[in-house]
Structure 1
Amino acid sequence: MKRIKPTPFQGHVVTFMARSNLGRLHMDAETLLRVSPEELAQALLNRRRLLKDQLPTVIRTLEAEEQNLAPKVDRAVENHKRANDIVAKLKSTRDSSQKVAHGLLPKVRGHRDSLVESGGMVSLDPDWKKEKLFEELDDIEDSIQTSALDHKAEKKMIDRRKKLIEQNEKWLKERRQMNPEMVDYVDSRREMSHLFKTADKSHRDMIKAVEKAQPLHEKKVAMQAEIREIRRVLDRAKELLAQSDDAIGHWERRLKDGFGELGLGFTDLLAAKKRVAEGGDSTFARKTKPNNQKKGKNSPRKGKSNKSKQPAKVGSGKKSVESVSEPTAPAVEAADAPSRGGEEE
C-alpha cells in the first residue's frame, strides 16, 4: 500500500491540526512575563497570514492524495467483501450438510438395529458375485484383444459382454426388491456419508478462505484509516482557510485600536489582568476553587483548618506571573470570536 509522495507543505497542515510546536518558543517565567499583548497579537497575525498563503497549496495536495487513494480504498473494500462472501457460502454449505447428515444418523441406526435383529443384514452386491462377473468380463476382453476375430465373432463377444452386465444388473435389482429395508439402510448410509464428507471439505475450504481474507481485511482497515485521516486534515485546512480573512482583520484591528472593549465581537481582552491587579481571583483560581472546596467537604483532614485559601495578592511572585500572563494567550484568544476554533493557545 503506497501513497503519493507528500509535499513539504503537508507537514504544516499536520502541525496546525495536531497542535504541534510550529512557531513556538520555549520560555521561562521571566521571559514569558516580558511578552506584551502587542507581541502576542503580532505573532497570531503572522501565523494567520502564513496559513492564508500556504493553505491553498496544502489543500490541493490533500485533494490530489484523496483522489489517488479513494479508488484503492474502494477496491480493497470490494476484494474483502468478495472474500467474505466466499467464506459465508462455504460456512452455509458446511452447516446445512452437517444438519442433514445428523438428521439421517438416527434413521441409519434404526435400520441397522432392525436388520441385525431380523437377520437381514446381507450384502446386496456380494463380493463373490462381483468377482465372478469381473472374471467373465476379463475373459471376453482378453479374447477380443488377443484372438484374430472377424467382425462377426467380435460382435458376438461384445454382445455376450453386454448380456452379462445386463444379467448382473437384473440380479442386483431383484435382490434389492427382495430386501427393501436393506436398500433403505444402504441408501441412507451412503447419503449420510456423502453429506459428512461434503461438510468436512467445506470446512477445510472455509479455513483456507478465512486465512486468505485476513490480509485483505487488514489492508482495508489500514487504507480506510488513512483516507479518513486525510479527509479530516483536509476539512480542517479548508476551515482554517475560510477563517483566515476574518482572523487577519481581527488581529489587525487589535494592533491598531487596542485590546479593550471595541464593540460587537471585540470584548475586553485585558479584563482578567485588571481583575487580578485589583486583588480578584485569576481565571485558574476561579475554575479550580469550587472543586477544591468540594473535595475538602468530602474528605476533611483532621487537624487542618477548613478555611479557604485567600487569592494571591498583587505583591506575590506567583500573582505577578498571573497578572501579566493573563492577557496573553487565553485572554487574547478568547476575543477572537470569528476565528476561535483555528487558534492555538
Structure 2
Amino acid sequence: MDANDLLAVSPKLLAQAILHRRERLAEIIPEDLEERKGELIDAEPKAKSAREERDKINNKVANLKHERNSAQKEARELFERANEIRERLISEGGMKNPDPKWAKDKLSAKLQSLENQLETSAGTHKTEEKFINEMKNLIKEHEEWVEERTASQPLVKEMKDARAKARKLLDSAQKAHDAMVELAQSNEEMHESFMKWESARTRAESRTMRLNNALSSSQDALEFWKDRVENDNFDDLLVDSVRVRDGGQSSKAIARSLKQEKESQQMKTARGEEE
C-alpha cells in the first residue's frame, strides 16, 4: 500500500481499525496481568524469606568469625606472655619444677605399698577403709606440697596458667571456625535460593508494571478513539494528510528539512567564529 492508497482510506475506517486493535488488547491484557500478579504474589514472600534466612546465617558467620579471631588474638598474646616469663626465668637462673619426677615416684611407691597391703590382708571393712583413707591423705598431702612449691614461684604459675588458658582459647577458636565453615555451605545454598526467587520477583514485578501501563494506555486510547468515531471528529488529525494531498510536504519531510536547516545554520555559525 503506497501513500495514495493510504490517503484513499477514510479516517473513520482507520480509526475503527485502531479502535478494534485497542479493544483486543484490552481483552487480552487483563488475563496476562493476573498471571503476572500471581507470579509476583508467589515470588515475593519466598524471596523475602530466603533473604532473611541468608542474612541470619551471614550474621552467625560474622559472629563466629569475630569469636574465632578474638580467641586467636588473645591466645597469641597469652603465649607471648608465657614466653616472656620463660625467658625471664631462664635469665634469672631457671625455675624449679613444682612436681618433680622423684616426688611423683615417691608418692606412687607409697600408694603401691598401701594397695598391696590392702589386697593381701584379710582385714575387716574398717581396716580396708583405713587403707583407703591413708591413700587419700597421701594424695592430698602431695597436692598441697605441689601447690606450696608452685606458690613460691608465682611466675611459673602465671606462665602455666597463661599456656593453659591459651590452649583453651585455641580450642574455642577451632570450634568457632568449624561451625563457620559448616554455616558457609548453608549460606551458599540460601543465597542461591534468594537469587532464584529475587530474579523471579523482579521479573514478575517488571512484567506486571508494563502490563498495567499497557492496560491504562489501551483504556485511554479506547476512550479517545470511541469519541472520535462516534462524533466523526477527525479534522485536527487530518492536517498533515490534507497538506500532502494538496502537494505539500509530509510531516517527516518537514522534520528533515528543519533538521538540515538547523545543521546548516550551525555550520555557518561555526565558520563565523573561526574567522
* 1:124/1:175 contact within 8 Å kept: yes
Q: Which residue of 1 aligns with 2:249?
A: 278
Which residue of 74, 77, 95 maps to 1:103?
77
- Deviation, structure 1 residue 94: 1.4
* 1:45/1:251 contact within 8 Å kept: yes
Q: Secondary structure at the match of 1:249?
A: helix
* 1:101/1:195 contact within 8 Å kept: yes
Go from structure 1 to structure 2 and tell me whether the alpha carbon gap of 1:178 and 1:293 turns closer, same or farther (over 3 Å shift). farther
Inter-partner Cα distance in structure 1 for 2:116 and 2:3: 111
Gaps of at least 5 residues in structure 2 are 271-275
Structure 1 letter corresponding to 2:138: L
Deviations 1:14-62 (A, max 9, x none): xxxxxxxxxxxxxxxx679966785765554333212222333333333
Inter-partner Cα distance in structure 2 for 1:34 and 1:135: 124
Go from structure 1 to structure 2 and tell me whether the alpha carbon gap of 1:186 and 1:240 turns closer, same or farther (over 3 Å shift). same
- Deviation, structure 1 residue 288: 8.4
Aligned: 1:116 with 2:90: yes
Q: Which moved more, 1:242-251 or 1:283-292?
A: 283-292
Aligned-residue Cα RMSD (Å) equals 3.9
- Deviation, structure 1 residue 269: 6.6
With CA pairs under 8 Å and 6+ residues apart, which has the higher RCO, 1 or 2?
A: 2
Inter-partner Cα distance in structure 2 for 1:225 and 1:164: 74
Q: Normalising by structure 1, report the TM-score.
A: 0.62
Aligned: 1:223 with 2:197: yes
Which residue of 81, 100, 106 maps to 2:55?
81
Q: Which residue of 2 aligns with 1:210?
A: 184
Q: Which residue of 1 aligns with 2:23?
A: 49
Go from structure 1 to structure 2 and tell me whether the alpha carbon gap of 1:158 and 1:53 turns closer, same or farther (over 3 Å shift). same
Deviations 1:178-213 (A, max 9, x none): 111111111122222332343344234323322321
Aligned: 1:242 with 2:242: no
* 1:120/1:182 contact within 8 Å kept: no
Q: Normalising by structure 2, report the TM-score.
A: 0.75
State which structure, 1 or 2, has the greater radius of gyration over its C-alpha atoms: 2
Gaps of at least 5 residues in structure 1 are 1-29, 262-267, 299-345
Inter-partner Cα distance in structure 1 for 2:195 and 2:215: 30
Structure 1 letter corresponding to 2:199: A
Q: Which residue of 2 aligns with 1:170?
A: 144
- Deviation, structure 1 residue 291: 7.6
Inter-partner Cα distance in structure 2 for 1:55 and 1:85: 44
Sequence identity (%): 29
